[in-house]
C-alpha cells in the first residue's frame, strides 16, 4: 500500500499551476513573435543609455536612407512611454487594423509602427509600470504584419533597465547602432549601453556621433570606437535643417544626406558580414 502511495503522482499546488500556465503562455507568445519576424533579414536596434541624444532622429534618417537605396525597411518605435517617431515624419496616417492584425503605416518608402498612433492626444502621458510596457511591446510584435523586410530598425527607449531590456529579450536584435554625442556625460552613458549590449551577447555594429560641431565639439564617437574596439560609422553635424519635421532630414538636405550616406556605406559591409554568419549558423 505504501509503495502504491509513493508511486502516485503529486497534484500541483495552485501556485505551481499558475507558474506553469505563465510559462506556457510566454512560450506561445514567443513562438508567435518569431513567426511574425521570420521574414525579416536583419533586425537592428538604435540605442543609447542617455535620452536626448537624437536617437529617434538617427533611426528615422537611417530608415529613410536605406529605403531610398531600394531596401525594404520597417521602423518600430519601441519607446512606449515617449513615442516620437510619427512627429518626425509629419504625423502620417495611422496603421490599419484588420482581422486582428496591424498593417504598418507607409511613409517615405518605409513602414512604421508606433504607440503614438494609438494615443488620442499626442501630449498624453503614458504612465505605465514595467509589466504594462512589456505587454504593449509583446502585442505590437505579435500582431504587426511587416511582411518581407531587409531591415527592421528598432528605436529603443534610453537607459539600461527594464524597458530596453524587455525589447532586447523579445525581439533579439541581430545588432545595435549606438548613438553618442560629444559631451563627456553622454559618452559615459553610451559606454554603459555598449557594455549592456555585450552582456546580452548581441553584436555592436558601430557607434555614430550626433550633434557634432562648434556648439558641443566632436570626437567622442572615435574615442568610444578606439576604447571599446567597435567600428565608428560616422558623424552627424548639428544643423538647422533638422528643424523641419515634415520629412526625414536626409530627404531635405544634401549635407545631411551625405553624412548618412557615409554612415550607411560603413554599416552595410558589417551587415553583410552578419548575414554570412547567420547563414553559417
Strand partners, 213: 217
Domain count of the fold of the chain: 1
The per-residue pLDDT for 35 is 76
Residue 189: domain span: 37-280
Q: How far apart are CA 224 and CA 186, in angstroms?
A: 11
Angle at 239 between CA 235 and CA 244, to 5 degrees: 120
- Give just the sign of the alpha carbon dihedral 127, 177, 69, 147: negative
- Tell me whether residue 227 is in a domain: yes
Residue 255 DSSP class: H
Q: Domain of 126: which CATH number?
A: 3.40.50.300
Residues in CB range of 195: below 8 A, 6 or more apart: none
Q: pLDDT at position 41, please?
A: 95
Q: What is the 3-state secondary structure (H, E, C) of 180-241?
A: ECCCHHHHHHHHHHHHHHHHCCCEEEEEEEEEEECCCECCHHHHHHHHHCCCEEEEEECCHH
The C-alpha atoms of residue 47 and residue 76 are separated, in whole angstroms, by 13
Contacts 24+ apart (CB under 8 A), 216-220: 216/181, 216/182, 216/183, 217/182, 217/183, 218/182, 219/182, 220/180, 220/181, 220/182, 220/183, 220/184, 220/186, 220/187, 220/190
Q: Are 102 and 143 in contact (CB under 8 A)?
A: yes
User: Is 29 within the bounds of a domain?
Assistant: no
* Cα separation values, 280 from 38, 274, 275, Å: 17, 10, 9
Cβ atoms of 36 and 142 within 8 Å: the answer is yes
The answer to whether residue 138 sits within a structural domain is: yes
> Is 64 inside a domain boundary?
yes
> How high is the pLDDT of residue 264?
98
21 in a structural domain: no
For residue 206, count other CB atoms closer than 10 A to its CB: 21
Q: Between the CA of residue 24 and those of 20, 117, 149, what are the distances in Å?
A: 6, 31, 29
pLDDT at 25: 73
The pLDDT value given to residue 7:
59
| Residue 11 maps to a domain | no
Residue 161 lies in a domain: yes
- Predicted pLDDT of residue 172: 86
What is the spatial distance between Cα 45 and Cα 194, in angstroms, rounded to a whole number?
A: 12
Residue 5: the pLDDT is: 54
Residue 153 lies in a domain: yes
Helix (H) or strand (E) holding 158: none
Instruction: Name the residue with cell 513602414.
Output: 111
The predicted structure's pLDDT at residue 1: 45
Q: Give me the residues of the chain with pLDDT under 70, please.
A: 1-8, 281
Beta bridge partners of 112: 75, 105
Amino acid at each position: 500500500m505504501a509503495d502504491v502511495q509513493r508511486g502516485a503522482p503529486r497534484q500541483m499546488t495552485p501556485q505551481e499551476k499558475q507558474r506553469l500556465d505563465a510559462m506556457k503562455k510566454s512560450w506561445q507568445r514567443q513562438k508567435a513573435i518569431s513567426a511574425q519576424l521570420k521574414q525579416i533579414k536583419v533586425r537592428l536596434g538604435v540605442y543609447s543609455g542617455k535620452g536626448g541624444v537624437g536617437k529617434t532622429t538617427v533611426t528615422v534618417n537611417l530608415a529613410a536612407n536605406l529605403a531610398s537605396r531600394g531596401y525594404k525597411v520597417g521602423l518600430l518605435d519601441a519607446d512606449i512611454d515617449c513615442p516620437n517617431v510619427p512627429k518626425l515624419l509629419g504625423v502620417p496616417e495611422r496603421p490599419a487594423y484588420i482581422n486582428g492584425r496591424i498593417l504598418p503605416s507607409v511613409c517615405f518608402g518605409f513602414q512604421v509602427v508606433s504607440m503614438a498612433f494609438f494615443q488620442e492626444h499626442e501630449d498624453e502621458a503614458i504612465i505605465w509600470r514595467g509589466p504594462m510596457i512589456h505587454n504593449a511591446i509583446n502585442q505590437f510584435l505579435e500582431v504587426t504584419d511587416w511582411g518581407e523586410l531587409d531591415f527592421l530598425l528598432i528605436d529603443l527607449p534610453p537607459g539600461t533597465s527594464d524597458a530596453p531590456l524587455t525589447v532586447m529579450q523579445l525581439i533579439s536584435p541581430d545588432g545595435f547602432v549606438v548613438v553618442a554625442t560629444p559631451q563627456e556625460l553622454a559618452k559615459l552613458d553610451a559606454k554603459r549601453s555598449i557594455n549592456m549590449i555585450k552582456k546580452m551577447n548581441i553584436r555592436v555594429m558601430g557607434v555614430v556621433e550626433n550633434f557634432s560641431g562648434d556648439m558641443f565639439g566632436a570626437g567622442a564617437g572615435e574615442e568610444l570606437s578606439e576604447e571599446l574596439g567597435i567600428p565608428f560609422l560616422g558623424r552627424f553635424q548639428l544643423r538647422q535643417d533638422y528643424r523641419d519635421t515634415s520629412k526625414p532630414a536626409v530627404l531635405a538636405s544634401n549635407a545631411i544626406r551625405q553624412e548618412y550616406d557615409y554612415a550607411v556605406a560603413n554599416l552595410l559591409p558589417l551587415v553583410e558580414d552578419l548575414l554570412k554568419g547567420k547563414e553559417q549558423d
